[in-house]
Amino acid sequence: MRKFLLLFILIYNFCLSQQRDQPLEIKSNADFIHKTGVIFPKEWNGLKRDRLVSYDKNNDNVGATYYFKANKKVTNISIYIYPAEVSNENLRDQFLSFKTVVNRNATNQPDISPEFVKLKSEKVVINGLKSYFDYNIIVPDFMKGQKEQKNKSFFSVYDCGKWNVKFRISVEDGDFDRVKQLEKALIAYFEPVKIAEKYQIESGKNAEILISKTAQRDSLMLKSTIEESEAKKEWLNTNKSAAELSAGFSDFEIESHVSAIQHKLKFYNEKKDKIAGSEETKKYFENLQKIYDNGYLKDFIYSQTFGVVIYPDGENRKNLYSDFVKQNNIPQDIIELMYRIYY
């Protein structure tokens, strides 16, 4: 275990060392060819490229912004291509981080709910997350000093094998029909599926497990968490096609979480009298078992993933689950993630 954790730290530190201290604007009036072969044109779909930025020393992590202004109304489009952290939490982490930033900057309260997307070809199936939302922000104004700009906005991110592709669209005083037209055009031109076809990853059976510090507090918690993570790997490898696993390792299917936790509880109940465990661990499992026995396991998973999991009833049952948790004095930190599956 220590050897594995040390390897992960070394890999992380190497990747971090490749990042620039500050993003570097690439000064170019020509088309820019990314390492994937994708071309960031100097003009796209009637929009001029406003900025081209590199975020690492090898120009692997690159973003471009396209800008159009008509009748004093602005359309902004951003495209990012960058190396993927291939893990079951990758897209979820990025979606939630984006949501946090938008909510911090917006003057309204954007409803950023995930839509789960699959793009397919004969060779690969890629998973993605997207959301359409109203996004109002304060911007500079020549006459007034500043003004509130009301936008129809869009965000999406895709697992494309060894790369991620991210799109952002913002149309001032526009409508979602226009946003969706631009989204369709982006996918047609930048072709996330083609990137995934060229940069496929290995079989999901070769994925590794990173265990959290909390899960290592005693042998019972550690071994139960390993059982859970291996069950998740098994479910994903059994229920996803090779074409899908070659592009990423997302776990948006709530059944994968249910199966993993069921294995975790089964292991705990069979081994709790044979493997050393702290009182804290025993209390954790008592609460988790209570959630399971009362039919709230999917609601627990919805809470643990902050809603980024396929569970149509999740939002409507949030208050019901919250009341159950309060009535049973179940601590909020029970939703802490104990592991990550990654390459």
| pLDDT tens for each residue of 242-259 | 999 999 999 999 999 999
Question: What whole-number percentage of the chain has pLDDT above 90?
Answer: 87
In angstroms, rounded to a whole number, what is the distance separating the alpha carbons of residues 53 and 55? 7
Q: Domain ends where: 161, 176, 198?
A: 198
What is the model's pLDDT at position 204? Answer: 65
261-298 residue pLDDT tens = 999 999 999 999 999 999 999 999 999 999 999 999 99
- What pTM was estimated for this model as a whole? 0.91
Residue at 305 is within a domain = yes
What is residue 204's three-state secondary structure?
Answer: helix
- For the residues 97-119, what does the mean pLDDT come to? 97
Structural domain boundaries, residue 180: 18-198
b/e map 146-185, b = 16+ CB within 10 Å: eeebbbbbbbbbbbbbbbbbbbbbbbbebeeeebeebbee
Q: Are 249 and 186 in contact (CB under 8 A)?
A: no
What is the number of structural domains in the chain?
Answer: 2
Residue 229 shares a structural domain with residue 101: no
Q: Extract the tokens encoding 231.
A: 């069950």
Q: Does the pLDDT of residue 35 top 90, yes or no? A: yes
Task: Supply the mean pLDDT for the chain.
Answer: 93
42-54 residue pLDDT tens = 999 999 999 999 9
Per DSSP, 69 falls in state E
Residue at 235 is within a domain = yes
Radius of gyration (C-alpha) of the chain in whole angstroms: 22
Q: Does the pLDDT of residue 14 top 70, yes or no? A: no
In angstroms, rounded to a whole number, what is the distance separating the alpha carbons of residues 103 and 186? 25
Residue 157 shares a structural domain with residue 185: yes
What is the model's pLDDT at position 92? Answer: 98
Q: Which residues on neighbouring strands pair with residue 125, listed in sequence order?
A: 120
Residue at 321 is within a domain = yes
Q: Does the pLDDT of residue 13 top 50, yes or no? A: no
What is residue 22's three-state secondary structure?
Answer: strand
201-252 residue pLDDT tens = 986 677 899 999 999 999 999 999 999 999 999 999 999 999 999 999 999 9
Residue 192 shares a structural domain with residue 213: no
Residue 172 shares a structural domain with residue 229: no
Residue 177 shares a structural domain with residue 240: no
Residue 306 shares a structural domain with residue 181: no
What is residue 84's three-state secondary structure?
Answer: coil
Q: Domain ends where: 198, 218, 242?
A: 198
Q: Does the pLDDT of residue 2 top 80, yes or no? A: no
Where do we find the tokens 């000064």? Answer: 27
Residue 145 shares a structural domain with residue 247: no
Residue 161 shares a structural domain with residue 266: no
